[in-house]
A and B are shown apart, each in its own frame.
Chain A
Amino acid sequence: MRIGLAKHAAGWIGAGWSALAWAAPAVEQAQKQALNVHAIVMFFVFVMATLGITYWAAKRTKTASDYYAAGGGITGFQNGLAIAGDYMSAATLLGLTSLVYSKGYDGFIYCICFYVGWPFIMFLMAERLRNLGKFTFADITSYRLDQTQVRTMAAVGSLTVVVFYLIAQMVGAGQLIKLLFGLEYWMAVVIVGVLMVIYVTFGGMIATTWVQIIKAVLLLSGGTLVMLLAWSQFGFSFETLATKAVAVHKDGIKIMAPGTLLADPVTAVSLSLGLMFGTAGLPHILMRFFTVPNAVEARKSVLVAQGCVGFFFCVVSLMGLAAIVIVGQDPQYFEGGNIAGKMLGGGNMPAMHLAHAVGGNLLLGFLAAVAFATILAVVSGLALAGASAISHDIYANVIKKGKAAEVDEVKMSKLSSLALGVLAVLLGILFEKQNIAFLVGLTFGIAASCNFPVLILSMYWKGLTTRGAVWGGIAGLVSAVLIVVFSKAVWVTVLGNPAPLFPYEQPAIFSMPLAFFVAWLVSIMDHSARAANEKLAFEDQYVRAQTGFGAAGAASH
């Protein structure tokens, strides 16, 4: 039994990881485990604490700025933890540990592929995002372009990403919780949905940020604790651990060097390109840049986030290596006690079994609760980003032409988050038995091909016009969707056709350049008067992007 793909989809980091796993057979359903009392008690404590924070946040949430951007009052350090919280998912903990467990060093190479996007987000995007944005990334793309068309385009891009990603998270959550907590699938999905709506509706960005921060701290400390306890069995010597792991692993010394996983550099490069630009196009990650008061804090937050993520990748890699020796040799973690056979709970369980092996039921329960909290935090960030796209972009700026009362806009956002919550629960239940691995790839493909090119061009290229932005975005969106539909993951696995129409699974490498090309071509062919004005308006935008003068400031509390 394995929960395979569904769980990889449990987090955004599952993007590349599921690209790898797409080669594997369809999702097998997770088996319900015995009720895990420790895990449930600890998760209950987490929920109580976060609901308390939501109550506190609700009292502090008065204006639209409080609701969408925590009043710009989050510090760089806090926001860094929150970004790390958005980034590190249950799949990071479980999927990457199991990858190192089964493939050794290849798992660590994967971590490096995920990691390399961070310096670029810092060097090329962080300060411009902060200086130009207010509540959503559409504020940036529509800064000097047509509010109605470009905002609608950005909102459609955001909502598509949010909905697909929510489905993936919901299904992943249901499977994971069924396995770790022994709850029914539907119950797990409903719990996640209800809590998500409560956090977002009442607490807005302040509550969502603190849920992320707590989750990031729990995940980092939980992972580190398990890693240290495991490593202590080897006297904290990497060499001792490595020697023992090599001695018992079926691949022997090969686990100490690059293997077959990323033997094809084209795959490795396209994977990291997709991940890099996909991250930079995810609405809930972009939104985090507007919660800090200025560019100084925005930069600090990327540094903190990157530090946490890098550290955590090293921790999970060590956990995977230790699991080879500690879990891999212990019959109690295998079906029928046969260590050559299937692992109990499926291939993604080494991290959980390792926690049990070094810290008993208590530590296992803690790590399971952390995994649940992790999912909850990620869906909350998504729901808030989706609700903001509906209320701030579509309602306030497209329908009301920027004349909506702040109170109505926030009310609309709360209604939207409720609607998104209901939709996510329904779709989560509907998709329970579906193979949803393609959804994560699709999410990233759309983020990298629809949102990212328009965003980066609007910040860097004077010549971008409304027509160019809209057609470029549409080209990216449509081509990303088509490529995924025609690839093996949907065409063969879901639709049951014998052979894929398109040989590659990662759309970004094709659809992203296409979006850039179309945006460029349509823009240079656009000789309208509006286009001329838009190009002129770039000058002011450029000064603001560079100096932060006129940027949306921190609200006073």
Chain B
Amino acid sequence: MSSAVYRKIRNNPRFADLVGRRSRYAWTLSAIVMVIYFSFIMVVGFNPKLLATPLGEGVTTSWAIPVGVTIVVLFWLLTGLYVRRANADFDAISAEIVKEALK
């Protein structure tokens, strides 16, 4: 009966530990994305001149360009960070917990 297995898993202290660590990780990453994104939107809204600054003397390209591209790349890397950690660490622990419960 799967309900019995679920109970066993729930009573395993490692389960609470795993869930706690994984959600802390997910929420931390979400908070980082949130802060970066809303800072960017606030600069766009309240101080766009900051982004208009050219990269150097006599250069047309403004700071807005590398900042924007960095955001796109960085968000992708953060997603990748989560995937790596989840697929390697978290899932291995999760599989062990399930295995223990099935014994």
- A residues near B, CB below 8 A? 105, 108-109, 111-112, 115-116, 118-120, 122-124, 127, 238-239, 242-243, 246, 253, 256-259, 262-265, 268-269, 272, 295-296, 299-300, 302-303, 306-307, 310, 313-314, 539-540, 542-544, 546-550
CA A109 to CA B67, docked complex, whole Å: 11
Is the Cβ of A256 less than 8 Å from the Cβ of B82? no
Q: What residues of B have a CB within 8 angstroms of the CB of A111 in the complex?
A: 72
Evaluate contact between A257 and B60: CB separation under 8 angstroms. Answer: no
Return chain B residues, CB-CB under 8 Å to A314: 69, 72
Kindly list chain B residues whose C-beta atoms are within 8 Å of the C-beta of A264.
45
Give the distance to chain B from A28, nearest Cβ to Cβ, in Å.
31
Q: Enumerate chain A residues within 8 angstroms of B98, measured Cβ to Cβ.
A: 547, 549
Contact pattern, B 40-51, Cβ under 8 Å of A = 1, otherwise 0: 111111101101
Partner pick for B45 among A256, A262, A544, CB 8 A cutoff: A262
Contact A543 B61 (CB under 8 A): no
B44 to chain A, nearest CB (A): 4
- Measured between beta carbons, the chain A residues less than 8 angstroms from B71 are 112
Q: Which chain B positions have C-beta within 8 A of A547?
A: 9, 15, 94, 97-98
CB distance from B95 to the nearest CB of A (A): 8
Distance between B91 CB and nearest chain A CB, rounded to angstroms: 6
Q: Which 10 A-B pairs have the closest CB atoms?
A: A257-B52, A265-B45, A258-B48, A256-B62, A123-B26, A243-B60, A540-B6, A258-B44, A242-B60, A543-B6
Enumerate chain B residues within 8 angstroms of A122, measured Cβ to Cβ: 79, 82-83
Query: For residue B32, which residue of chain A has the nearest CB?
Result: A119
Q: How many residues does chain B have at the interface if contact means C-beta atoms less than 8 Å apart?
A: 54
Q: How far is the CB of A4 from chain B (nearest CB, A)?
A: 25
Is there an interface contact between B79 and A118, defined as CB atoms closer than 8 Å? yes
A-B contact pairs, 22 of them (CB 8 A): A105-B65, A109-B44, A118-B75, A119-B30, A122-B82, A123-B79, A124-B26, A127-B86, A246-B60, A256-B54, A256-B65, A262-B44, A263-B45, A268-B44, A296-B86, A306-B76, A310-B72, A314-B72, A543-B9, A546-B18, A546-B94, A549-B2
- Excluding A105-B51, A112-B71, 10 further A-B contacts by CB distance (< 8 Å) are A108-B64, A108-B68, A115-B75, A257-B48, A258-B64, A299-B87, A314-B72, A540-B2, A547-B15, A547-B98
Main SS of the interface on chain A? helix
- Contacting residues, chain A, for B54 (C-beta < 8 A): 256
Q: How far is the CB of A433 from chain B (nearest CB, A)?
A: 37
In the complex, chain A residues whose CB is within 8 Å of the CB of B73: 310
Query: In the bound complex, do residue A549 and residue B5 qualify as a contact, i.e. CB atoms below 8 Å apart?
Result: yes
Contact of A543 among B10, B59, B82 (CB under 8 A): B10
With a cutoff of 8 Å between Cβ atoms, the chain B residues found around residue A256 in the complex are 52, 54, 60-62, 64-65
How far is it, in angstroms, between the C-alpha of A539 and the C-alpha of B10 when the chains are bound?
8
Distance in angstroms from A83 CB to nearest chain B CB is 13
Judging by beta carbons under 8 Å apart, are A307 and B33 in contact? no
Q: How far is the CB of B15 from chain A (nearest CB, A)?
A: 7
B80 and A119 contact, CB distance less than 8 A: no
For B22, list chain A residues within 8 Å (CB).
Answer: 546
Complex Cα–Cα for A424 and B69 (A)? 39
Contact B6 A299 (CB under 8 A): no
Q: Which residues of B contact A544 (CB under 8 A)?
A: 6
B44: A residues at CB distance < 8 A: 109, 258, 262-263, 265, 268
B91 neighbours in A (Cβ, 8 Å): 295-296
What is the CB-to-nearest-CB distance from B40 to chain A, in angstroms, rounded to a whole number? 7
